[in-house]
Every structure is written in structure tokens, then in C-alpha cells.
């Protein structure tokens, strides 16, 4: 008997069972904690995802118009409703509660302060109106993950979990040629990359010239379709540029002149270097002329068939550099009202300070806005000053763009003179309205952007140190400009009026990066998270 007891006492079989029994509770607790932590992490992710999506949805409605904040809150609410099925079960699966704050400015570098009310979160300058509401900040109300196993170790739920996200709109203009202009008003030594440029409406601008405004930069931006000249030509010539949108706040400059691309640019004026081959075929785009292509060129045939070749277009030069008084003093001035020095035809002329020979220019990049309106209407319509003012209803200081739009609205003009009628000049003819069948191409449709206007990015090249290719540089303003004339050589040698590499435009209006609208270009606003 004693022997049996000693044997049983010494027997080690089943010794692991007590160990397992003792550790089982700890193993279950650890597994429960892991399971419940995963539930808590999932809830946190769902809350943050809901906040992110709600903020983005709200930001899309912040257009500065009446009730934009009401619309933004409704958009956020609709998004959050899709996130109502959180990890919890039971009654806690209801729609999450959230608050939307609207800010006129938001500093995302400020550390979050949980004590701040959701209506005025950290870093938010609270907007006081729909017009100045630029940023939407969504704060999800506190939620708790109900634990399944963790109560074994004394916890029945997580603490309150919340999430916050801030979103605003990033804007870009799309389907515009990649053209830039170094700020003509930027002083030497400027360090302000956002220095504004405010030209008066109607002034002429030497937009692109054969000389670089800064080393390596002649006036182009990267097209986004490649570095070759054919990509740039397509963006300059196509009715609808195929490159990506240009960010309103950041662009990339392109080096080199690429003179050949201006042949594609000239298709806007119904001037083709060699038929429609001027329109680059790589992108499969169409290069139609504008509806009104009034220009200072004539073609060597009356029927327009040979006008498909640029070589058949001849400039008719307008030169206001004439003897202005009995002493023979010569100056840039309007032509005599008696028409004695009028050219045979006239496109929209330069500002007087940019007229005549280039060596006689009295303005730099920016003109004066004074151009010979009387000569234009006298040559093209036979009207005196008083007659054109009365017949058009335009002001005496009308911009070329205003005259252009009037001509589009009144193509018959006098009934015998106007853009609907070719103007004979000796054995040649000037064509101003290709849609009528007189020109070389088929005119633009009403659904296309105006082919005589483009958007131009203004850069502070000194502050940016823009030598050659410069990536993601800020754009303080975009200009909408009117294309005055085709890029073609007028004159030669010392008697040069314009070079093949010159583009002359007139300023119409501008848009700053923070503006809500930019007329007659395609603008795209994309919401993005800033926190």
C-alpha cells in the first residue's frame, strides 16, 4: 500500500495540465485584447475615412456663392451616411455624428488641440460668410468600440475615438496653350514669387519674341505631352489641347525657342504653312481657324485655294511713322485722316508705340493701349471717326478685342465691307471669315473655345531664378489675351517690322489664383485633403 502511494506520488504523467489551466486565462485575455484592438483600429480607420470623404465632399461645394456652406454640409452628410455601418453591432451602428467648420484660412502646421470646439478647430480662421469659406474641417463625434473579450481583464469598451479632416479646392485651367510671360513689372532684385502684374485693359503685349526674356526661357511651358517641338505645336494649334491641365498655382517652364511651332499657332488665323500638315498629326487633333481671322495678309489668288500654303500669304504693312509737321519731324502717330497714307488692308494694328520698325519702338514688353482705331475703320469700312463710333456703338477708346467681337456679331458690316467679304488688293485678296468658304479651312464651331483668345501664365522670373527648366513654380496671375496677328516676318534686315518668332497680343482680363472664375477657359476644381 505504501509502495503504491509512493509510486503515485512520484508519477509525472499529466503535469502539464495544471500549467495549461493556469495559463489559459492569460492566453484568452491576450487573444481577446488583440481581437478587440483590431476592432478599435478598424473603428478608428472608419472614422478617419468618413471624415476624409466628408471633408472632400464638403469642399466641392465651396464656390463662394450663396448657400455654399449649406450645400457643403448636405454633401458631407450624404457621404457620412455611407459610412454608418461601423464595426460595432447593435444600436451603435447608427449614423455617426459629425460637425463641419468652415474656414477662410487654415494653418495645418498647428498641433491639434482636443479642447478646441469642433466649430472652431485648431488652425481655423472661422469663415463669416459663404464668400470667404475656403476650407471645410470635418470632426467626427466620439465613438467607442464595444469590446468582446477584453472585459475579462476589466475593460468593457475603448475610450472615445474621433477623427478630423480638412479639405479645400485646388484649381487648374485646362485645354489652354502652354504659354508664359515673365512679369514685365518685376523689379531687379525682387524676391516675391507672387508679385502681381496689373496691366490696363487693352494694352498690347509682346508675348513671345525671338529673344529670351531670361536665359533659356522664350515664353513656353511644358505641354505635358513630351519635350519635342511636335508636342508643343499640337498644344498651340489644336482646337482642344490634349495635354494635362496646368495648375493655377504651379507650372513648369520649357526651354528653347522652337520657332517651327508657330506654324501651328498660325492655323488660328487660317494661315497654313503647307496645307493642314501644319496641324501636328501625332495627337490626332484638329486645327481650325477662328471665325474672325482679320489680319494684315493677302493671298495670291481670289478663290483661296492656294492660301493653304503660307508662302502665298503676303503682309500689307501698316506704318504710322510719318512726317507729322512742316519741319519734317517724324514720330509714331495715327495716320492722316485724309487716308493719304492708309495701307490697302489692315488687320488689328499694334499699339502706336509698338508700330513701325522694331528699331523705332518706344515701349518695352507692355504697350500704351493707344492704337489707330480711326485708320482701322477707315480702311476696312470707309468710315470716319464719328461714323464708326455711331455705327458700332463702341467707345472711342475701344479695345481691339471689343472691335473683334463687334465684327463677329455684324459680319456684313456695311453690306459690302465686313468680315464676310473678301477684300481685293490688286490680284490678291484678304480673307477674314473662313467659315464663309473664302478662306483655306473650316471655321471653329460655336462649342469650341474662341481661337483668338488664350490664357497666359505670368511668372516672376527674377524671384524664381528661372534659368532654363524650372519645375512647379507659382503663378500669381493668369492673363486672358487676344491674339492680334499671325506670327510672320514683316519686312527684312534693318527694315524689320516683326519677326517670324514674334507673337503680339492684347490684354483682356486677368484671374488670380484665388479667384472663383476665369472666363472662356476650361477651369477644373479638384478637392484635396490638407489635413
The string of pLDDT tens digits covering residues 437-452 is 444 445 555 556 688 9
Q: What share of the chain is helix, strand, coil (3-state, %, to 5)?
A: 25, 25, 50
Q: Are both 219 and 159 inside the same structural domain?
A: no
Q: Is the pLDDT of residue 412 over 70?
A: yes
Q: 366: which DSSP letter?
A: B
| Full DSSP string of 156-187 | -B---EEEEEEEEEEEEEES---BEEE-TTPP
Of 143, 170, 197, the one marking the end of a domain is: 170
1 located within any domain: no
Three-class secondary structure of residue 37 per DSSP: helix
Q: Are both 209 and 329 inside the same structural domain?
A: yes
Mean pLDDT of the chain: 79
4 located within any domain: no
Of 170, 204, 238, the one marking the end of a domain is: 170
The answer to which of 3-12, 73-82, 295-304 has the lowest mean pLDDT is 3-12
The confidence score (pLDDT) of residue 98 equals 81
| Full DSSP string of 247-305 | ESS-B-EEES--GGGHHHHGGGGT--SBTBTTS-TTTT---PPPS----SEEESSSSSG
The confidence score (pLDDT) of residue 513 equals 44
Q: Which residue has the cell 464719328?
A: 386
The phi, psi pair for 4, rounded to 5°, reads -65, -40
In total, the chain counts a number of residues equal to 531
Q: Are both 162 and 187 inside the same structural domain?
A: no
Catalogue the E-assigned strands of 364-519: 423-425, 428-430, 453-459, 477-483, 490-492, 495-498, 503-512
Q: Are both 181 and 100 inside the same structural domain?
A: no
Q: Are both 368 and 233 inside the same structural domain?
A: yes
379 located within any domain: yes
Q: Are both 280 and 410 inside the same structural domain?
A: yes
9 located within any domain: no
5 located within any domain: no
Of 122, 147, 170, the one marking the end of a domain is: 170
Q: Are both 336 and 374 inside the same structural domain?
A: yes
8 located within any domain: no
Three-class secondary structure of residue 401 per DSSP: helix
d(CA 376, CA 346): 6
The confidence score (pLDDT) of residue 159 equals 59
Three-class secondary structure of residue 338 per DSSP: coil
Using alpha carbons, select from 244, 251, 242 the residue that is nearest to residue 283.
242
At 26-79, the pLDDT tens digits run 666 655 566 556 666 666 777 788 888 888 888 888 877 888 899 988 888 887
At 190-243, the pLDDT tens digits run 999 889 999 999 999 998 776 666 666 678 887 766 666 777 888 888 887 777
352 located within any domain: yes
Q: Is the pLDDT of residue 89 over 50?
A: no
Sheet holding 313-315, edge to edge: 313-315, 297-299, 428-430, 423-425
**Angle, vertex CA 305, rays to CA 300 and CA 279, nearest 5:** 105
242 located within any domain: yes
Mean pLDDT calculated for residue range 22-27: 61
d(CA 493, CA 445): 40
Using alpha carbons, select from 181, 223, 206 the residue that is nearest to residue 461.
181
Number of domains within the chain: 2
Grid cell of 94 as nine digits = 447608427
Domain membership of residue 273 as a residue range: 175-529
Task: Note the maximum CA span of the chain.
Answer: 152
The confidence score (pLDDT) of residue 84 equals 52
Q: Are both 48 and 188 inside the same structural domain?
A: no
Q: Is the pLDDT of residue 392 over 90?
A: yes
Using alpha carbons, select from 85, 81, 9 the residue that is nearest to residue 42.
85
The answer to which of 78-92, 209-223, 253-267 has the lowest mean pLDDT is 78-92
Grid cell of 257 as nine digits = 525657342
Q: Are both 165 and 185 inside the same structural domain?
A: no
Rg of the chain over Cα atoms, rounded to whole angstroms, equals 35
The confidence score (pLDDT) of residue 81 equals 73
Q: Is the pLDDT of residue 90 over 50?
A: no
The confidence score (pLDDT) of residue 242 equals 76
pTM of the full predicted structure? 0.70
The confidence score (pLDDT) of residue 508 equals 95
The confidence score (pLDDT) of residue 373 equals 98
Q: Is the pLDDT of residue 497 over 60?
A: yes
At 115-164, the pLDDT tens digits run 777 778 888 889 889 888 888 998 887 666 666 555 544 455 555 677 88
Q: Are both 147 and 242 inside the same structural domain?
A: no
Q: Are both 276 and 345 inside the same structural domain?
A: yes
The confidence score (pLDDT) of residue 208 equals 79
At 342-360, the pLDDT tens digits run 999 999 999 999 999 998 8
Residue 436 pLDDT level (bands cut at 50, 70, 90):
very low
Q: Are both 141 and 192 inside the same structural domain?
A: no
Q: 334: which DSSP letter?
A: P
Amino acid at each position: 500500500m505504501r509502495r503504491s502511494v509512493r509510486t503515485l506520488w512520484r508519477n509525472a504523467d499529466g503535469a502539464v495540465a495544471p500549467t495549461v489551466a493556469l495559463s489559459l486565462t492569460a492566453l484568452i485575455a491576450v487573444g481577446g485584447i488583440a481581437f478587440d484592438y483590431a476592432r478599435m483600429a478598424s473603428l478608428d480607420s472608419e472614422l478617419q475615412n468618413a471624415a476624409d470623404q466628408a471633408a472632400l465632399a464638403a469642399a466641392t461645394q465651396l464656390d463662394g456663392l450663396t448657400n455654399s456652406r449649406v450645400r457643403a454640409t448636405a454633401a458631407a452628410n450624404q457621404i457620412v451616411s455611407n459610412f454608418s455601418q461601423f464595426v460595432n453591432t447593435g444600436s451603435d451602428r447608427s449614423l455617426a455624428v459629425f460637425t463641419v467648420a468652415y474656414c477662410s484660412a487654415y494653418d495645418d502646421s498647428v498641433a491639434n488641440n482636443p479642447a478646441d470646439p469642433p466649430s472652431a478647430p485648431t488652425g481655423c480662421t472661422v469663415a463669416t460668410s459663404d464668400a470667404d469659406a475656403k476650407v471645410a474641417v470635418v470632426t467626427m463625434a466620439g465613438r467607442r468600440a464595444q469590446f468582446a473579450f477584453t472585459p475579462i481583464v476589466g475593460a468593457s469598451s475603448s475610450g472615445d475615438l474621433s477623427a478630423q479632416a480638412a479639405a479645400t479646392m485646388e484649381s487648374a485651367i485646362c485645354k489652354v496653350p502652354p504659354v508664359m510671360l515673365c512679369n514685365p513689372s518685376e523689379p531687379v532684385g525682387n524676391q516675391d514669387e507672387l508679385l502681381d502684374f496689373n496691366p490696363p485693359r487693352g494694352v498690347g503685349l509682346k508675348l513671345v519674341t525671338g529673344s529670351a526674356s531670361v536665359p533659356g526661357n522664350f515664353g513656353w511651358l511644358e505641354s505635358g505631352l513630351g519635350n519635342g517641338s511636335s508636342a508643343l505645336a499640337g498644344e498651340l494649334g489644336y482646337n482642344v489641347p490634349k495635354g494635362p491641365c496646368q495648375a493655377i498655382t504651379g507650372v513648369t517652364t520649357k526651354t528653347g525657342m522652337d520657332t517651327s511651332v508657330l506654324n501651328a499657332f498660325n492655323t488660328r488665323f487660317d494661315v497654313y504653312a503647307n496645307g493642314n500638315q501644319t496641324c501636328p498629326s501625332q495627337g490626332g487633333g484638329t486645327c481650325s481657324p477662328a471665325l474672325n481671322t482679320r489680319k494684315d495678309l493677302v493671298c495670291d489668288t481670289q478663290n483661296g485655294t492656294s492660301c493653304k500654303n503660307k508662302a502665298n500669304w503676303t503682309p500689307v504693312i501698316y506704318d504710322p511713322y510719318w512726317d507729322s509737321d512742316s519741319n519734317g519731324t517724324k514720330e509714331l502717330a495715327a495716320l492722316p485722316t485724309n487716308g493719304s497714307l492708309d495701307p490697302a488692308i489692315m488687320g488689328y494694328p499694334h499699339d502706336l508705340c509698338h508700330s513701325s520698325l522694331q528699331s523705332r519702338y518706344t515701349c518695352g514688353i507692355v504697350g500704351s493701349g493707344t492704337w489707330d482705331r480711326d485708320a482701322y475703320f477707315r480702311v476696312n469700312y470707309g468710315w470716319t471717326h464719328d461714323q464708326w463710333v455711331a455705327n458700332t456703338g463702341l467707345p472711342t477708346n475701344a479695345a481691339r478685342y471689343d472691335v473683334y467681337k463687334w465684327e463677329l456679331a455684324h459680319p456684313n458690316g456695311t453690306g459690302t465691307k465686313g468680315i464676310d467679304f473678301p477684300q481685293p488688293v490688286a490680284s490678291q485678296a484678304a480673307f477674314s471669315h473662313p467659315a464663309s468658304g473664302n478662306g483655306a479651312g473650316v471655321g471653329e464651331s460655336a462649342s469650341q473655345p474662341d481661337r483668338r483668345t488664350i490664357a497666359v501664365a505670368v511668372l516672376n522670373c527674377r524671384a524664381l531664378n528661372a534659368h532654363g527648366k524650372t519645375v512647379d513654380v507659382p503663378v500669381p496671375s493668369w492673363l486672358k489675351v487676344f491674339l492680334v496677328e499671325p506670327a510672320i516676318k514683316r519686312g527684312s534686315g534693318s527694315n524689320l517690322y516683326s519677326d517670324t518668332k514674334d507673337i503680339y497680343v492684347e490684354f483682356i482680363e486677368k484671374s488670380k489664383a484665388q479667384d472663383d472664375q476665369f472666363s472662356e477657359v476650361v477651369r477644373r476644381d479638384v478637392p484635396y485633403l490638407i489635413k
